[in-house]
Amino acid sequence: MDLKLKNKKVLVLASSKGIGREIANKYSEEGASVIIIGRNEETLKKTADEISTQTGREVIPFVTDVSKKEDINRLFAFVKEHFGVLDVLVSNAGGPPVINFETSDETAWYDAFELTLMSSVRAIKEAIPLMKENGQGRIIYIASSSIKEPISELLLSNIFRSGVQVLCKSLAEDYAKDQILINIVGPGKIDTDRLRSLDKKNAEKNQVELKEWQNKVQASIPIGRYGTPEEFAEAAVFLGSYRNTYITGQTLLIDGGFVKSY
């Protein structure tokens, strides 16, 4: 299926590895020009080179810490200079840390607020004028299955990702008239560094071997296994493509049936 992305200008936040990288790779495979961002310059450049070599398309690395307002401002100044327009924004950020509610310091809460909520607020606020000028746009927010069913050890993620979901749902109605479609995509148990780290912590907490814990979790997923970043990217990029012409304000979980809530 042609996703009508050839020569589109795409910005993918937090895309040097994991889910963000696979989404950037999929857009590039579909013929788009892509800006990828991350905090580690070496990793970012390596990712850009690998994707560009594989797809033969322009992939531009730009070092950015999405939790910092000044970095988002610099990033969009570059987008305007290099692209002039923006067809697609994928708003993504690394997950906030695991905390203990009773012993948590307020600094962790403010840091998660900046990383998870304000990074999306700022990026979307910068992107929408470019899309309105362009006469169309697609925005995808990469959330978590916690927006449907809270994950006990991920309190900060539960709170702030839900806030961005509500933001996107509200903005979808406001900007549909401008042909800007905004959707939310939440990963369930996708095999990433983040999931492996959480599995290791949970195995230690429950005093079992890592493999035993992973087998237990995968047995609770109706499909019977963890998903792959590539599988996640396939669905996310369809919603954030120009083949999608009538879906907006929706939340899609890509979780193999793991979450039981409606």
pLDDT in tens, 158-213: 999 999 999 999 999 999 999 999 999 999 999 998 899 889 989 998 999 999 99
Q: What is the mean pLDDT of residues 29-41?
A: 98
Distance of CA 244 to the CA centre of its chain: 18
pLDDT digits (tens, 9 = 90+) for 60-97: 999 999 999 999 999 999 999 999 999 999 999 988 99
Statement: residue 262 has pLDDT above 90: no
Average pLDDT, the chain: 96
* CATH code of the domain occupying 9-189+228-254: 3.40.50.720
For residue 1, the model assigns a pLDDT of 87
Does the structure show a pLDDT above 90 at 261? no
Round the CA-based radius of gyration of the chain to a whole number and report it: 18
95, 117 contact by CB (below 8 A): no
DSSP summary character for residue 108: H
Collect all residues with Cβ–Cβ distance below 8 Å to 168 and sequence separation of at least 6: 120, 124, 139, 141, 182, 183, 184, 249
Whether residue 46 contacts residue 21, with contact meaning beta carbons closer than 8 Å, is answered with: no
| Mean pLDDT, residues 223-246 taken together | 97
**Model pTM score:** 0.95
Residues of the chain with CATH 3.40.50.720: 9-189+228-254
DSSP letter, residue 227: B
DSSP class of residue 178?
G
Say how far apart CA 245 and CA 66 lie, in whole Å: 29
